[in-house]
Every structure is written in structure tokens, then in C-alpha cells.
Amino acid sequence: MARDALASLRAGCSFASLSAGFYTRVAPRPLRNPRLLHASPDAAALIGLDAEALQTPAFLALCSGDGRLADIAPLATVYSGHQFGVWAGQLGDGRAHLLGDVRTPGGTWEIQLKGSGRTPYSRMGDGWAVLRSSVREYLASEAMAGLGIPTTRALALVASDDPVMRESAETAAVVTRLAPSFVRFGHFEHWGHSHHEQKALLEHVIALGYPECRERAAGRMDPAATACRLLTEVSRRTAHLMARWLLAGFCHGVMNTDNMSILGLTLDYGPYGFMDAFQANHICNHSDTAGRYAWNAQPAVARWNLYRLAGSLMVLGCEAPALETCLASFEAEFLAAYRAGLARKLGLDAWQPEDAALEDDWWALLHVQRADFTLAFRRLAEADQDAGAWLALFPDPAPARAWLDRYLVRRTGQGGDAPARRAAMLRANPLYVLRNHLAQRAIEAAQRHDATEIDHLLTVLRDPYTERPGFEFYARPPAADARAVPVSCSS
């Protein structure tokens, strides 16, 4: 199978069915002397490739920019967007190439290279990606999938010794990404003044991922009604995504509208971070000097971005009051998903209004004492039997003990089987997350042509809820005296 695996894929390119104004045909820049640093069997299975196929020269050629998917000409798409709250005008795939899509029994998956060279949308960029940022994206994509958070996927990581200049000299790499679609809010913003193109984009997205949102009038799609249905569902998916981010301690770091997926996926991993010591206003992106994309600001930013998407749909005949109605449920959807998820993490059968005070005091306790986000939730599952391990996370255990006493009264008061509840809490609270110092460790090994740390991380991150003997190091927060790993928009 391996030799013919790529050729046997049911490949096409549905995005290319849109008119030429949506994209530019442009070839990737192949890496010189590429080497396959890593490939994800889990991601490969999504498009019908087995482990043997990942070791073939044809697979390496495809993922290094030197191959083609069924002789399809690669393309880069155009979009626009707001960056840090400011209209940035035309943007686009400045260093990404869409190779096509693969149709499978489980749906269609687009295959895209990131870091694969300049396109007409590169602006001042060189179109390349460095190994450092590519390792981070590769790991984060698969880590989020392991957590059950909607995300693009990472199929392969190819490295080379090609030099790339950033703050200092680095080496080049390409990540091969998978998604049902890479369409962003920014694609709709780009066509916000063109009825014909916006309608065509709407039809493409509806056919691809939202057939239930199609509204008809006189036997044809009603663009305005369909757009409103779409906006309602995108708003719902985005609200649920924000709840999942917060409950995982995840910060995206650069929630520009051009980084928001129309399918409600986590898209574009740059200066992201999973929190260690909890701070409600934690900023993971050193470029975000004003804290626009702090952990606790993410739901509000998502809603702001949805309003920008809504504005772009007015060209289809959508009236402002109708669009407002579509967005009105965002807060309720977010709160319902957030509270249901938090109840699972806390081992509560259902969220009760009186739990709000317990919740507020929980976050305040973690914030004041800078307790580790992941371990504070994880060890809470067994705090009724081993309070010492949980209390050890807090420099001042007295306030923690007081909160724990209130919490245990609430938890035991609901009845139920205690062992089953502990097991459910362990299934809701990961032991392993992609902490920055762990990603940095993998980066430094990869720079020595060693993928061992990537292997180790993916072993625990693909099922982060199950404790694995011998991998204790990967569950620990960074040492107290460890140097912080800075990440910015160049990461």
C-alpha cells in the first residue's frame, strides 16, 4: 500500500471551484535536503494513510513542498481582517499553500503546508517558518485534539538546514496541517463589499460544513436567511470553543479575526500558552502589551470578532437587527458550556446558582496564590482522601483549606458513588498539558535532529487524562527558578 498510498487518495480541491479572485496559484518553495522530523499516525489515519505510507519518499516530497496531491496546482487564499482590534486590510496566506483536499468516509480534509515560501500575500514576510515555531504548532495541534478541543490537525513536521533570519539565524521547517476547511472570519471580511463573491463564499462554506443552515426561497438559496443561520451556528460553536479554552487554561495569544475559524476550530498556533501558575489576566503573548488577548478576555474578544463577521454579511442583505439577534445568544451559550464543563471538572452533578460563589472564590484562591492551573484541578479529584497533596500547591494553605471544606460539603451533599465521581473527575481534568518549558525542551532536541522529546510528549498528550508510569516529569510544572519561555507573534 505504501508506494501507492498518496496516489490512491480521493483528492480534489473544492476551494478552487471559487473564482480566481479568491486565490492565487503559486508553488511552494521546496526545502533543500528535507528530513521528516516527525509524522502523526493519528492525523494520518484521518485521511486514510497508514504508518508505512508516512515513511515513503512521496510523502516526504509532499510535505516538504516538492510534491503534488494528484497533480493539483497548489494555491494561496486571500482574506482580510482586524489585527489587535485595528483593520489591517488585505492579508492572506502569506506562508501557506493549500495542496488540495481528500475525501474520506468521515468527511473532507484539506491539506495545507505552513512555512512553505512566499505568496502574493506575504507582504514584507519571507514566507518561511522556523523550526522553533513549527515544533510548537505541530505539538499544540495534537495536544488540543487529545484534550477534545476542536482544532486543526498536524500531519507532519519536515525540517531542513536552510537558514532563516529572525532575531537571530534559525533553520527552516514546514508543518503539514489538516482541517475540514481553513476558511476564516477574515475570508468573509475580505468580501464584505461584494455581494457576488460573498454569496459564492457563503455557498462554499454551507456545502462544506453547514448544510443544515441552508435556507431556500423560490427554490434557491436565500443568501440573507442562510447567512443569519450560519452566523447563529458559528456564534454557538465559537462560544463553546471559548469555554473549552478557558477550562483547559489555554491562551491563544493572537485572536485576530483572520485567526478565527469559520468552523469553530482552534486555528493558527503562534504565541499560545497553557497556564502554569494561574493568573486570571495572564498574557501569553509578549507582543500583546495591552493584554487584549489575556486568558479572561478571550470570550469578549471572540464576541467582538463575531460582530466583525456579522458586519461583513450585511452585503448579502442581512439587516442589522437580524444579525444582532443571531449574536444575542453568545453569552448564554458560553456560560452554559463553561458552567457545565466547570461542574464536570469539580465533580458536581449539575451547576447550581449557589455554585457561583464557590466558583468565584476558587478562581480568586488560585489567582492570589498563583497555584498551578492543571494540578489544582487534577488533585482536587482525590482531595477528600489526600488533602495534603492538593494543599501543597498553595503557599498559604489556610485559605485553601477553608475553601476545600466548603467544596467538600457541596460535593458530598449531592450524594452518589464517591469512587465513580473521582474517576469522572480524572477523566475531566488532564494530568498532562503542553507547558511552554516542555515545548522548549522538544524544540532544543529537534534542533539537534532528535525527535525523542516530540515522541514522549505525543505519548502523553494524545491521552492526557491517563497517568503513565515513567512519564512523571511531563506532569510537573516548571521549576521555581526556571527561566520563563517568552513567546511572541514571531513564535
272 residue type, one letter? Y
Whether residues 391 and 334 fall in one domain: no
34 residue type, one letter? P
In the prediction, which pLDDT does 486 show? 77
Residues listed for the chain: 491
Task: Answer yes or no: is 466 within a domain.
Answer: no
Whether residues 154 and 87 fall in one domain: yes
Give DSSP secondary structure letters for 381-398.
Answer: TTTTT-HHHHHTT-SSHH
Task: Answer yes or no: is 372 within a domain.
Answer: yes
Task: Answer yes or no: is 471 within a domain.
Answer: no
CA 47 – CA 43 distance, rounded (Å): 7
Backbone dihedral angles phi then psi of residue 444, each to the nearest 5 degrees: -65, -35
User: Is 258 noted as a catalytic residue in this protein?
Assistant: yes
Whether residues 250 and 163 fall in one domain: no
Whether residues 326 and 358 fall in one domain: no
Whether residues 298 and 332 fall in one domain: yes
Whether residues 331 and 252 fall in one domain: yes
Residue 292 grid cell: 487584549
Whether residues 325 and 380 fall in one domain: no
Whether residues 194 and 162 fall in one domain: no
Contact (CB, 8 A) for 257 and 182: no
Mean pLDDT confidence for 193-204? 98
> Of the residues 412, 428, 444, which one is the last residue of a structural domain?
428
pLDDT digits (tens, 9 = 90+) for 206-225: 999 999 999 999 889 999 99
> Of the residues 271, 306, 339, which one is the last residue of a structural domain?
339
Whether residues 243 and 262 fall in one domain: yes
Task: Answer yes or no: is 270 within a domain.
Answer: yes
Q: Rounded to the nearest 5 degrees, what angle is found at the Cα of 92, between the Cα atoms of 87 and 93?
A: 145
Whether residues 205 and 313 fall in one domain: yes
In the prediction, which pLDDT does 481 show? 80
Number of folded domains that form the chain: 3
Residue 401 grid cell: 483549606
In the prediction, which pLDDT does 1 show? 42
Q: Which of 249, 245, 428, 241 is nearest to 333 (CA)?
A: 241
% of the chain at pLDDT higher than 70:
99
Task: Answer yes or no: is 463 within a domain.
Answer: no
Q: Is the pLDDT of residue 275 over 90?
A: yes
Task: Answer yes or no: is 178 within a domain.
Answer: yes
Whether residues 16 and 108 fall in one domain: yes
Q: Is the pLDDT of residue 256 over 80?
A: yes
CA 74 – CA 119 distance, rounded (Å): 11
Q: Is the pLDDT of residue 260 over 50?
A: yes
pLDDT digits (tens, 9 = 90+) for 225-255: 999 999 999 999 999 999 999 999 999 999 9
Point out the catalytic residue in the list 66, 93, 101, 258: 258
User: What DSSP state is assigned to residue 284?
Assistant: -
CA 238 – CA 232 distance, rounded (Å): 10
For residue 211, what are the domain limits?
A: 186-339
pLDDT-derived band at 483, boundaries 50, 70, 90: confident
CA 266 – CA 246 distance, rounded (Å): 13
In the prediction, which pLDDT does 490 show? 62
Task: Answer yes or no: is 240 within a domain.
Answer: yes
pTM, two decimal places: 0.97
Task: Answer yes or no: is 296 within a domain.
Answer: yes
Mean pLDDT confidence for 79-91? 97
CA 381 – CA 398 distance, rounded (Å): 19
User: What DSSP state is assigned to residue 259?
Assistant: G
In the prediction, which pLDDT does 3 show? 52
CA 429 – CA 390 distance, rounded (Å): 14
Say what the alpha-carbon torsion angle 184, 186, 189, 195 is, to the nearest 10 degrees: -50
Helix (H, G, I), strand (E, B) or coil at 48: coil
Whether residues 206 and 298 fall in one domain: yes
Residue 244 grid cell: 473549552
Give the mean pLDDT of the chain: 96
> Of the residues 148, 182, 216, which one is the last residue of a structural domain?
182
pLDDT digits (tens, 9 = 90+) for 123-165: 888 999 999 999 999 999 999 999 999 999 999 999 999 999 9
